[in-house]
Structure 1
Amino acid sequence: MKDLNLDYFEEAAKFVQSHPKVKGPSIGVIGSGKGAQLAFSMASFLPNIAAVVSINGCISNTTTALRCGSFILPGLPFNLDKISAMDSGVYDVTEALEDPLDPAYRESCILLEKANAHFLFIVGEDDRHWKCSVYADIAVKHLTGHGKTNFTLLSYPNAGHRIDPPYSLFFPVSLDPVLGVHVLGGGQLKAHAVAQIESWKKILEFLHLHLG
């Protein structure tokens, strides 16, 4: 994956803000997985981001560097030695992402404390793509440590990585675009479906509350 530039996402935000059907000036951003990291970065570096929904995100920028003007967030790497192959040919990458709290990777941490946005953290407790419950706890402690209370954490037992809108297909296994192999996503069908339905209601309530 090539390095990313926040200018691209700033252009998209400005396009949305200028749309005649958007109330503005503030907007909300929803991101899942890597997309959640980009949503965090938008809220931290761009103006008028009032609400961020993170679905199984990580507080650190992962995999590839993200340029934010003159500031660069290096990518928190995956440790390929911690990836295990199953008999089915599917890979388990749960332990592969390096520890965001490791001082060696401190510069990858997204500066959430700089954001004026409100955050909604949605967590699938059976996420097998990475340790999203741990990462959400880190984010909450990070914000709290900076005197912030602008967050809500919702955690869903037995839900996996891809908590998509209600009635979306359930993907316990998916093709990882970075690694290029099929990886476990986790989750149990019924519990995951319930999480999709319930979290979507909460997302809409959250966006209505903070965007008017």
Structure 2
Amino acid sequence: MYYNKYVMFRRQVKNLLFDFPKIYNNIFIRCLMEIKVYPEEPLVDDKISITISGLSPQQKVTVKTSVTEVKSTFSSSACFISDASGHVFIDKQPSLLGTYTGVDGMGLFWSMTADPGQQKGLRYIKRDVTTPQVVNLSVFEDHYSWSDCHNISQEPLVSSEVERWFLHKSVKREVIRDGILRGTLFTPSGPGPFPGVIDMFGTAGGLIEFRAAILASRGFIVFALPYFQHEDLPESMTDINFDYLKESIDWFSNHSDVINNGVGILGVSKGAEIALMLSVECPQVKSVVNINGTPFCSYFPLGPFTNVVESDFSRFQYTDEGIHIWDAMNTHFKPDHVLKIIYVRILFFKTWESDVQILYIIGEDDKSVDPNYANVVYNCYPDNQKHKLTIQKYPNAGHLIEPAYLPVCRASFHKMFGFVFVWGGIPEDHARAQEDSWKSILHFFKRTLLTNNKGKSFSSQL
């Protein structure tokens, strides 16, 4: 018996000595593996270069990212084959499988989607802009689909983190409770004054700061303005106070850190609709970016705008993905009516009668607002006023066009209606629209807010 144990012990020692070079080699190789990210602490709208080194030549690997926001987790994946030197350059090499394919250095970020097993219709929204978006990067041996990535039993070959910031560390964030006004003011560093932009979202309600934070990080002073479902503001969208909105224009345009040249408004959906209203009523509004907002008062009257286009709920389209509502208001715009420009001009905001410059961002696959409204608006403008209206259309882009490189949202749960709404958009095309339109928005506000009507340029820190 003791002899048998002795033989077994010698065999185990021999096997260990035989396997030791392989074990040592694997440990040594893993020590050489590295994920490099440049820049190290980027803003979310910065392009990022990611390089994986220390792999074997022609090695198959899967790169998985994940990020947690509040209690929800979003992730993406991409599959690569390392080059002859054992490197993967994510911005130069194609993803062969995953949440995106092809060469796209930012594909791992815009293609993030909610992990399986969570509530249907989750939308990524950064709630606390004073903290970074912490993205975990893991590299696994072999190729896996995104769904299979959530069941990998092996340890990653190498892991790392990248911190992407919505708010530059030099930007001041100030909670505003001034009279009836509520919101958050973001002020860039430097002596100022700065070009001023008011930022408004849609029927999601509440205070959403992430877009204002990015804008401020690019040199604008930005007022993130909620108008219902925040603190003591109205709970119902139908109770929005139009005087509150007008007062926000007065307060912001007179702020000492805002260039005395008028202000801009950036809005999406209902927020864009309200932005157009304010551009007609408030001469301080010099420019508006309308991201897929209706050019008329929808659902309910607001302030002096009593001509309302209501939704025909029978025109909602119910699908397995969610509800399409884009056609719900089109009973009011039959071809014979659209041809009657007088009728249209009664319903539409008369922005052509003001000096406001407008940039329309249109997703042609919008499932919430009919993208053809932009063409009707253009026809309302007299020929000598058309230069004040710029329309940028994006084929296969949907309703929620966010800043560059943020996760694409095709459908999400709408808490006010209690349904999943389909916003539309083919992910790859929508991501390109986000990148291109964000550049246009920054350029548009610089152009319109840093030059007065006489062509004089104002100095700023931009």
TM-score bracket for the superposition, by shorter chain length: 0.7 to 0.9
Pair 1:194-2:427 in alignment: no
Which of the residues 366, 385, 403 maps onto 1:165?
A: 403
Which of the residues 58, 72, 84 maps onto 2:305?
A: 72
Q: After TM superposition, give the deviation of residue 99 of structure 1 in Å.
A: 4.5
The structure with the largest strand share of the pair is 2
**Considering only CA atoms, is the larger Rg found in Structure 1 or Structure 2?**
2
What CA distance in whole angstroms lies between the structure 2 residues aligned with 1:147 and 1:153?
Answer: 14
What CA distance in whole angstroms lies between the structure 2 residues aligned with 1:65 and 1:177?
Answer: 22
- Give the equivalent residue in structure 2 for 1:48: 284
2:364 partner letter: E
Alignment RMSD (CA, Å):
2.2
What CA distance in whole angstroms lies between the structure 2 residues aligned with 1:43 and 1:32?
Answer: 15
Flag structure 2 segments of 5+ consecutive residues without an equivalent.
1-236, 338-342, 451-462
What CA distance in whole angstroms lies between the structure 1 residues aligned with 2:387 and 2:332?
Answer: 22
CA contact (8 A) 2:312 2:331 kept: no
- Give the equivalent residue in structure 2 for 1:125: 364
1:172 partner letter: R
What CA distance in whole angstroms lies between the structure 2 residues aligned with 1:169 and 1:83?
Answer: 26
The structure with the largest helix share of the pair is 1
CA contact (8 A) 1:124 1:158 kept: yes
- Give the equivalent residue in structure 2 for 1:87: 320
Q: After TM superposition, give the deviation of residue 74 of structure 1 in Å.
A: 3.3
Question: Which structure has the higher relative contact order (CA within 8 Å, separation 6+)?
Answer: 1
Q: After TM superposition, give the deviation of residue 28 of structure 1 in Å.
A: 0.4
What CA distance in whole angstroms lies between the structure 1 residues aligned with 2:437 and 2:292?
Answer: 12
Length-normalised TM-score, structure 1: 0.88
What CA distance in whole angstroms lies between the structure 1 residues aligned with 2:306 and 2:348?
Answer: 8
Flag structure 1 segments of 5+ consecutive residues without an equivalent.
none
CA contact (8 A) 2:276 2:351 kept: yes
What percent identity do the matched residue pairs reach? 28
Measured against aligned partners, the alpha-carbon deviations of 1:162-204 in whole angstroms (never above 9, x if no partner) come to 0011122211112345533211100011111111111011111
Distance 1:145 1:60, change over 3 A: farther
Comparing 19-28 with 33-42, greater Cα deviation is found at: 19-28
How do residues 105-120 of structure 1 correspond to structure 2 at under 5 angstroms?
Answer: 107-120=346-359
Length-normalised TM-score, structure 2: 0.42
Q: How many residues align?
A: 207
What CA distance in whole angstroms lies between the structure 1 residues aligned with 2:350 and 2:332?
Answer: 13
Q: After TM superposition, give the deviation of residue 94 of structure 1 in Å.
A: 2.2
What CA distance in whole angstroms lies between the structure 2 residues aligned with 1:65 and 1:105?
Answer: 17
Which of the residues 12, 16, 38 maps onto 2:252?
A: 16
Comparing 1-10 with 142-151, greater Cα deviation is found at: 142-151
2:323 partner letter: Y
